[in-house]
Every structure is written in C-alpha cells, then in structure tokens.
Amino acid sequence: MTTAPGLFVARCLVRVAVWILVAGAVAGPAALVRPAASAAPGAESPLYGTELPADGYVSSTSCAAAACHGRGHAGGMRSEYLAWSPDLRPGKPNDPHARAYQVLFNSVSKRIASLMELPKPAHETSLCLKCHAVEAVQPAEALSEGVGCCGCHGPAKKWLTVHYQPAWKALSHREKWEQYGFLPVQNLTTRAVNCAGCHVGDATREVNHELIAAGHPRLTFEFAGLHVTPGYRKHWEEPLAPAEFESRAWVIGQATSLRNATKLLGERAKRAESDSEADWPEFAGYSCVSCHRAIRKDTPRPVPRAQQTRGKSGWEMLSVAAVDVAAEFTPRVFVGAAVPRLVALGELREVMAKGSPNLQLVRQKSAAAVAELDDWLTALQAAEDRPRAHALAPEVSQQLLNALAASALTPDRGALRDHDPDFLAAHAAGCRAVLRGSPDVRLSGHMRELVEVLPVPHTPNGRLTDWGSGLTNARMLRVRDQFRDIFDRTRPGGKR
C-alpha cells in the first residue's frame, strides 16, 4: 500500500480518462437517438399521443362503409366496425366500449346519480360522458355510440380522407400523430397511455371515492389482461408473437398505469391546495383494504414494514407493487431501452406512506415522478416504433416469472412481502400475462389456484366483491405456497 504519490495521481488520472471515454461512447449515440427534450428536466415531454385534441371527432358510422371497415364478417379484415358494434343477441362476444353510453341508463347508474345528487341524469352529465362516450363527437346524437372509433383512434376529421392513400403509409407514427392527430395505437405504449386516460384517469377524468361509494365499480386497469377479458371481441390482430406481446404489454401497462395514477395524484394535490374544500387525501388512490378491513381475528394483519403498514395506506398498490420488476426487465424485453430511473417515484412512495401526506410535497414529488415515468414511456414508445430486429430471448419469460414470484415473497421466501390483495393481484396478473405468452403446463395449476384463492378485484353486475370476509390467514398461506412454488420451478436448477 505504500505507493509513491506521483504514481497514485497518475493512476487516478488514467482512470478518470477511461471513464470519460466510456461515458462519451455511451452518451454520445444516446444523445443522438434520444430526443433532446428528455435530457433537460422540465422540458416538454417527447412522449407523443398523450393529450387528445379537443375537436374533430366524427361518428363511427363515418368508418362503417362496406368498402372501408364495415364489411359483414365480424372478426375478419375490414369488418372492424361490425366486430366493435354490439351484437343483437345477448351473451355473444362483443366490445363493451359500444355499450359504454347505454349503461348510463341502467339501475346502477341511476342509483349513483341519485346518491351523488347529480343535477342531471348520468347520460347528460359531463362527469360520466367524459369516459362513457366521446364527449366532443359531432353530431351530438352520436354520443349514443358510446366509446366509438374516434375515442381510441383520435379525432378523424383531419385524416378520414387521407389515411387510406398511399402517402399515409410512408408517414411515421409520430408524424401521423403530430400532423393529423391520428393515434397510432399499433404502438403499444401509445395504446396503453390512451386506454389509461379513462381506465386510470388523467387531469380531467377520474373515478374518485365519492363515485365508488355511490356504486361505481372501482378502476382496476391491467393493460395486458384487458386484451383477453372473457367475452371481449377484438377487432384487430396483434402482429407480435404471443410471448413477445404479453411481456411487452405487461411492462408497458405497469409504466402507464403508474404514470397516469401519479399524474392524477398531482392534479388532486394541486386541487386540494387551491381549494380548501376539496377532499384530501383522495381515498380512491389507496388500496380498498387499507380501510375496508373486517374486524376479525382471522383477517390477515398488514405485514409490518411492508408497503402497507398498520393504520397506513397502500398507495396505488395495483400499479406500484411490481413496478420494480417491470423496470428491471425493460432492457431485456425492449432491446435498446435502459433500466429507467425511478428515484423521485421512490421518494413519492415514501411521502404517500404517511398517514396524512403533505400536499406541497406530494405535488412536487409527483411532478418529478411523472417526468421520470414519461422518460421511461418515451423509451418504450421509441422501442415500439423501431423495427423489431430481435425476437424475445426465450429465457426471458422464465426469468420474468421468477422475478415476479420473488418480488411477491420476502427475501427468504418464507412469507408474503405484503398482505394487501392489490399487491398480490398485481404480481399474479404479471405471472398470468407471462404464462399466456409462453404457456407452461407445470404452472397452469398454480395460476388456477391463485385466481381462485386471491380475491382479485372484479365487479360482476356492478356489485363490489366482498374482500373483507374473503381475506383470511388461511388464504394468504395458500397464496404464499403458489408463489413459492412458481419461484422454485422457474429458478435455474430449481424444482422440475
């Protein structure tokens, strides 16, 4: 250890020089590829397709010509309108978006309107129409279509007569959006962000606790899973192989729902800061079970020092629980994307774990976290827009399953890391997505058991599921055993 000072300094200088070279080699091309805006914090987000224009929405019948998307073969090419529109016979697969407006007339909606003392019925209330129809559609009668073509594909006025011309194909996704307001939903990131606008909420749309208490089902957005909702009739085909699609959709879904939830949180904090009468904290941002917990001896206790602790609440647990796994797997699923930086998000999570989160802190931290998540989504969107040169490495599915199971358990795999049903549902949904893409007969029984045992939130007929009585210690042990077995079987050299 006795080195001459001169030699020591020289070595240091060499090291520094090597690091500068390495950093330059990495950062140089990155700076060329990445849009400059993302480098400067606070600059305009380069993520495109996030805020839909205010007007230009046309009715879905504009797309339904027989020569366009209205051929008579539901499920086939150029029959997208038919696949979307409701079947006259009940019980057939269909697209619920076509009934979105119709449900505003049912008994649940009437009850919600009466409990919330809305001045007008639900189908005339902007609060409801924002998501249950394309509110700005012209003519206004077309509201009754529900969430029609323009709801997801963007206002068609500018591109209706353009999008079938040869020149259209030459445009990039970004150009189609920037010049015409066409949402390239083939890009899974663009698609997810647009779905999340209603299914999670954004600055102007939200399902808050007041609505839920009045009877509106809670929003439980799981992007990958929603594609395979039983009875849902897709009007398109995914170009990706199932394994690739599911893992991409899962990672993108995690980033997107968290981004929109965080954005909504920031909006709510801003509102509460300026309006002392606004509800704060907004309960809809927390796990139901944070409060709605049966007072019984066999109700599982919150795990100490877990994400949700005694008397404290789990913030956006469905989106947050497995987000670290999604971040870690970003470079493996999307070639060329880096592991995202989620430091501000971590700080926000700490602020939100407090009993009464400080408004100003929440607003600041959520803005910083949204910027981080936007950067992540920008990378994912860019990766989606690049031609796919590499197929998903075959071992990634197994690794992802293993990481998800590990994340649900404590480091010694002896217990669940958290007893919050949202935490467990988020991990189970990830496992299901991976297994849909690359089925593994050894694990299908585990998934069935998880689905059966886990009180996964779902709302048949608008009724809320009863978690309180379903949540018992015995069930938690069964859930733990399933995750433990998934972990063991997906580990290299683990159980066969």
Partner 1 sequence: MTAPRRTTIAIGTGVFVLAIGYGLCARPHAPASGTAPRDQPAHAPQRPPAVGRPVLRSGCEASACHGSAATRALADEPGPTTWMSSASLWHARDPHTRATEALASPLARQIMEQLRVEQPERWAADALDEARCLACHTNPALALHANRPGRERLRTEGVSCESCHGNASDWLFEHTNWTAADRPARYDEFGMARLFDVGERAAVCAGCHVGAPADPARGYPLRDMNHDLIAAGHPRLNFEFADYQRRLPPHWFEKDRTRDPCVPREPEFEAKAWIVGRVASAEAACRLLADRAARAERDGADWPELSESKCFACHRELLPREWRPSSRTRTSTWQTVWPLTRPEHRAALPAARAGEVAAELAALETVLARREPRPTETARHAARAAAALRGLRSELAGAPDRTAAETAFGLLARVNADSLDWDESCQVMQGLASLEWMRLRRAPSDQRTANPLFAGMYSGLALPRPEGRDHFDSPRRFDSKVTRANLNRLLASIRQTCVVPE
Q: How far is the CB of 294 from partner 1 (least distance, A)?
A: 5
| Cα separation, 469 vs 315, whole angstroms | 22
Q: How far is the CB of 465 from partner 1 (least distance, A)?
A: 6
CA of residue 155 relative to chain centroid, distance: 23
| Cα separation, 255 vs 377, whole angstroms | 7
| Cα separation, 11 vs 8, whole angstroms | 5
Nearer Cβ to partner 1 (318/403): 318
Q: How far is the CB of 272 from partner 1 (least distance, A)?
A: 9
Nearer Cβ to partner 1 (311/493): 311
**Residues between 184 and 223 with contacts to partner 1, criterion CB under 8 A:** 213-214
Residue matched to tokens 């609505």 = 211
Nearer Cβ to partner 1 (304/493): 304
**Residues between 330 and 359 with contacts to partner 1, criterion CB under 8 A:** 355-356
| Cα separation, 47 vs 52, whole angstroms | 13
Q: Within 10 A of 244 (CB to CB), how many other CB atoms are there?
A: 20
Q: Which of 72, 311, 460, 492 binds partner 1 (CB under 8 A)?
A: 311
Q: How far is the CB of 258 from partner 1 (least distance, A)?
A: 24
Cα–Cα distance list, 196 to 135, 226, 255, 260, 379 (Å)? 17, 11, 11, 7, 18
Contact 365, 35 (CB under 8 A): no
Spell out, one character per residue from 59 to 98, where the chain touches partner 1: x when CB under 8 A holds, - when not: ----------------------------------------
Spell out, one character per residue from 102 to 121, where the chain touches partner 1: x when CB under 8 A holds, - when not: -------------x------
Q: How far is the CB of 306 from partner 1 (least distance, A)?
A: 11
Nearer Cβ to partner 1 (241/291): 291
Q: First CA to last CA across the chain, in angstroms?
A: 50
Q: How far is the CB of 112 from partner 1 (least distance, A)?
A: 11
Q: How far is the CB of 236 from partner 1 (least distance, A)?
A: 35
315 strand-pairing partners: 286
| Closest of 313, 80, 337 to residue 185, by C-alpha | 80
**Residues between 241 and 300 with contacts to partner 1, criterion CB under 8 A:** 279-281, 283, 288, 291-297
At position 93, the amino acid (one-letter code) is P
Q: Which of 158, 464, 488, 491 binds partner 1 (CB under 8 A)?
A: 464
| Cα separation, 461 vs 333, whole angstroms | 37
| Closest of 292, 118, 317 to residue 221, by C-alpha | 317
Residue 399 interacts with partner 1 (CB under 8 A)? no
Count of residues that bind partner 1 according to CB under 8 A: 30
Nearer Cβ to partner 1 (310/442): 310
Q: Which of 51, 395, 466, 481 binds partner 1 (CB under 8 A)?
A: 466
Cα–Cα distance list, 248 to 118, 233, 399 (Å)? 41, 21, 14
Residue 238 interacts with partner 1 (CB under 8 A)? no
Cα–Cα distance list, 55 to 5, 52, 330 (Å)? 71, 9, 35
Q: Which of 90, 91, 139, 304 binds partner 1 (CB under 8 A)?
A: 304
Q: Which of 57, 376, 467, 487 binds partner 1 (CB under 8 A)?
A: 467
| Cα separation, 166 vs 171, whole angstroms | 10
Q: How far is the CB of 15 from partner 1 (least distance, A)?
A: 43
Residue matched to tokens 């699923």 = 333
Residues engaged in binding partner 1 (CB under 8 A): 115, 213-214, 279-281, 283, 288, 291-297, 301, 304-305, 309-311, 355-356, 463-469
